[in-house]
Structure 1
């Protein structure tokens, strides 16, 4: 499929946290109902607003720790995650029974890993953290691993399931490309998104997963 999306510049920080945090604590976090054991994310136009293989010219470097943290490439272009994404990763990675993984068809896996290593997650929203030293790297949030290579997403999920032992039915996947709905043939719940990972899309995905599990 031809890649037609244009690079979306990082949204400037205007001092407001409205785009980074939900207005209230997410209801799904406190309603006592089950959550997926594994949340899997695509990268290009899901976690970040660019194609990793055509928009970035190496080498890359971290140029800003502000919100969102920003990278620059050889041509001086700036890159960042979608505004909500760092805060979502911070929250989900703190949940005791939900893990995170990546499933991406990007042909530049080493570059994607470097981006994830350079970008940092924000501190917990409540400011109460026992962490010391450097801020948490984005890559460290994905404790269930990174599957970044060309090929069908079915293969990505088969590898993830084998490595983690988590059943497909306990997985929730966020991706921006309709053909990847094929993973639902395995029992995975996929939330098809258009404008990147947001708090709203996260909640809709969780509700979709619960509905598929017969949870009300």
Structure 2
């Protein structure tokens, strides 16, 4: 199967993310999506949750960034920029976050999100200290096999946010089907990054007819 051909890989190396430098789109006076929705496998983290992790899992003490180890001693964490992005977005007023994933191991994914911690918000943040990654997703976690259309219908009903006010990040082209609902989807290749986040916001604004 094609899925098994994609190996787990460490989060890409690179310059340290700096949550203290606010991105331009945050203060340019243009609108932002009311709901950011994220896939999990190869979007927030660089592995397949149902193939690469052997339970049980545990948090590696004093790991930076926070990292999990499984039964075989393999290490797992979020993509490099993802923790800072999630922390920033979750601190914004009138903005919610949600997960839409087809992973068949929803309980395991929830455990990963509960164990991994986000960094402090930094200067200007509305909260202090690390918190569980799962706590960022106040729009809910839809993690089960099936069409992403179903995921978004449930998310819309729960949050009351119109589809046109949602921005979705996913690595699989077939999931562009959600755009039939009015959702903007940013198709990404190498995980969530600051650059992809900005491109997604610009794509959403373009669909809304807003320059910026």
Report TM bin, short chain.
over 0.9
Q: Is the 8 A contact 1:40 1:174 kept in 2?
A: yes
Deviation at 1:97, TM superposition (A): 1.2
Instruction: After TM superposition, list the pairs within 5 Å mapping 1:100-111 onto structure 2.
Output: 100-111=97-108
Task: Give the Å deviation of 1:130.
Answer: 5.0
Deviation at 1:116, TM superposition (A): 0.1
Q: Runs of 4 or more off by more than 4 Å in structure 1?
A: 127-130
In structure 2, the residue corresponding to 1:112 is in which secondary structure? helix
The whole-number CA distance in structure 1 between the counterparts of 2:173 and 2:18 is 28
Tell me, in whole angstroms, the C-alpha distance in 2 between the residues paired with 1:25 and 1:172: 20
Partner of residue 119 from structure 1, selected from 116, 119, 124: 116
Tell me the CA shift for residue 11 of structure 1: 4.6
Query: Please, which runs of 5 or more residues in structure 1 have no aligned partner?
Result: none
Separation in 2, partners of 1:23, 1:110: 34
Name the SS of the counterpart of 1:49 in structure 2: coil
* Structure 1 segment 177-216 matched on structure 2, within 5 A: 177-216=172-211
TM (norm. structure 1) is 0.92
RMSD value over aligned CA atoms? 1.8
Counterpart contact for 2:121–2:127, Cα < 8 Å: no
What is the CA distance between 1:126 and its match in structure 2? 2.2
Deviations 1:102-135 (A, max 9, x none): 0000000000000000000001222866546xx3
Show the counterpart of 1:171: 166
Kept in 2: contact 1:90–1:122 (CA 8 A): yes
Counting matched residue pairs gives 210
Secondary structure at 2:64 match in 1? coil
Q: Of residues 25, 31, 36 in structure 2, which corresponds to 1:28?
A: 25
- Which residues of structure 2 form unaligned runs of 5+? none
